[in-house]
């Protein structure tokens, strides 16, 4: 663990003709390790990672990078609905632009929820350039439990007060953010989605962290992810945790991620 706080810096990444993406980096002193890129969940943003990126940078001695996907946080708005292929599109269309802008020859990934699925897709296409992958509360397929949790959340966000809380992070894009999550995942066109085709292509070690009480997916998800990972997979089930183990059990998750990345190199 480094002794000094990481230096934070903001970045704007051009994405013509769609606009700009917002990114932020936390850099601890001198480091020669591969940067760690964070991929947020369906309602997430750079700001919603809170102090986790800075803690990761200090704990791991790596530069940590987080970015708002198009339509989220401080990135520009996105029109229309998400396609059923939006996870693959993030890996194929958007992440390469982030990678090029920040000069990431080698990198590690940490994705939360659907960001974990995106991490799997990105790592599958990156080969040995991706040195390690951590998923937190990632979905490997569309489980009945996942759909039930999202349907409950959709009803909750009919409350204007709930939407207003989300608007603190997404501004006028908040309703689009909610609909992009709920309507895509509950759509019949998305019901057969899974990460099975990507997992065997992974060349990096993988750690799948999951809350024992995750309301959006059972432990079948991390078990499936680790079992099929081509580069070898481990699971860490966090007792008592729900869908946000990195927030609920921060020290435990930080310690596990630090140890895994140190071993992965």
pLDDT in tens, 190-217: 999 999 999 999 999 999 999 999 999 9
pTM: 0.96
Reply yes or no on whether the pLDDT at 21 is more than 80.
yes
113 vs 140: CA distance, rounded Å: 9
pLDDT in tens, 160-196: 999 999 999 999 999 999 999 999 999 999 999 999 9
**Mean pLDDT, the chain, integer:** 96
DSSP, res 194: B
More confident residue, 183 or 5: 183
Reply yes or no on whether the pLDDT at 120 is more than 50.
yes
Among 28-42, 65-79, 122-136, 193-207, the least confident range: 28-42
Identify the band that residue 29 occupies on the pLDDT scale cut at 50, 70 and 90.
Answer: confident
104 vs 117: CA distance, rounded Å: 20
Domains of the chain in start order, with CATH, are: 7-264 (3.40.50.1820)
Identify the band that residue 3 occupies on the pLDDT scale cut at 50, 70 and 90.
Answer: low
Q: What string of DSSP letters covers 144-160?
A: HHHHHHHHHHHHHTTSH
User: Given this model, what pLDDT does residue 179 score?
Assistant: 97
Strand order in the sheet with 233-238: 7-15, 19-27, 64-67, 36-39, 107-112, 130-136, 206-211, 233-238
Reply yes or no on whether the pLDDT at 4 is more than 80.
no
Q: What is the mean pLDDT of residues 30-55?
A: 95
193 vs 254: CA distance, rounded Å: 30
Task: Confirm if 48 and 67 have CB atoms less than 8 A apart.
Answer: no
| 3-class DSSP assignment, residue 27 | strand
**217 Cβ neighbours under 8 A, 6+ residues apart:** 137, 138, 139, 140, 143, 145, 146, 149, 210
Tokens read off for 40: 């947020």
Among 1-5, 128-132, 260-264, the least confident range: 1-5
* % of the chain exceeding 90 in pLDDT: 94
257 vs 190: CA distance, rounded Å: 31
Q: What is the mean pLDDT of residues 94-112?
A: 98
Angle 134-219-84 (CA atoms, 0-180°, nearest 5)? 70
Reply yes or no on whether the pLDDT at 79 is more than 90.
no
**79 Cβ neighbours under 8 A, 6+ residues apart:** none
Q: What is the mean pLDDT of residues 130-159?
A: 97
Reply yes or no on whether the pLDDT at 157 is more than 90.
yes
Q: How crowded is the C-beta side of 135, counted as CA atoms within 13 Å? A: 33
| 3-class DSSP assignment, residue 203 | coil
Q: How far apart are the first and last CA of the chain?
A: 15
Reply yes or no on whether the pLDDT at 2 is more than 80.
no
Reply yes or no on whether the pLDDT at 89 is more than 50.
yes
User: Given this model, what pLDDT does residue 31 score?
Assistant: 80
């Amino acid at each position: 663990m480094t002794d000094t706080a990481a230096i934070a810096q903001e970045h704007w990444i051009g994405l013509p003709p769609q606009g700009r993406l917002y990114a932020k980096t936390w850099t601890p002193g001198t480091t020669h390790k591969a940067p760690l890129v964070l991929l947020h969940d369906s309602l997430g943003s750079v700001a919603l990672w809170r102090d986790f990126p800075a803690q990761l940078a200090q704990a791991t001695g790596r530069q940590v990078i987080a970015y708002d996907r198009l339509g989220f946080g401080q990135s520009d708005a996105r029109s229309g609905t998400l396609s059923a292929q939006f996870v693959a599109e993030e890996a194929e269309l958007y992440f390469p632009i982030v990678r090029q802008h920040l000069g990431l020859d080698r990198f590690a990934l940490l994705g939360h929820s659907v960001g974990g699925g995106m991490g799997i897709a990105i790592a599958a296409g990156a080969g040995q350039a991706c040195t390690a992958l951590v998923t937190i509360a990632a979905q490997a397929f569309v489980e009945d439990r996942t759909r039930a949790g999202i349907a409950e959340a959709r009803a909750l966000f009919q409350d204007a007060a709930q939407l207003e809380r989300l608007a603190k992070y997404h501004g006028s894009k908040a309703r689009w953010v909610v609909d992009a999550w709920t309507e895509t995942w509950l759509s019949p066109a998305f019901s057969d989605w899974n990460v099975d085709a990507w997992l065997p292509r992974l060349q990096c070690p993988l750690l799948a962290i999951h809350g024992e009480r995750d309301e959006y997916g059972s432990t079948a998800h991390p078990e499936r992810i680790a079992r099929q990972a081509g580069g070898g997979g481990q699971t860490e089930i966090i007792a008592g945790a729900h869908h946000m183990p990195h927030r609920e059990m921060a020290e435990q998750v930080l310690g596990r991620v630090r140890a895994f990345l140190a071993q992965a190199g």
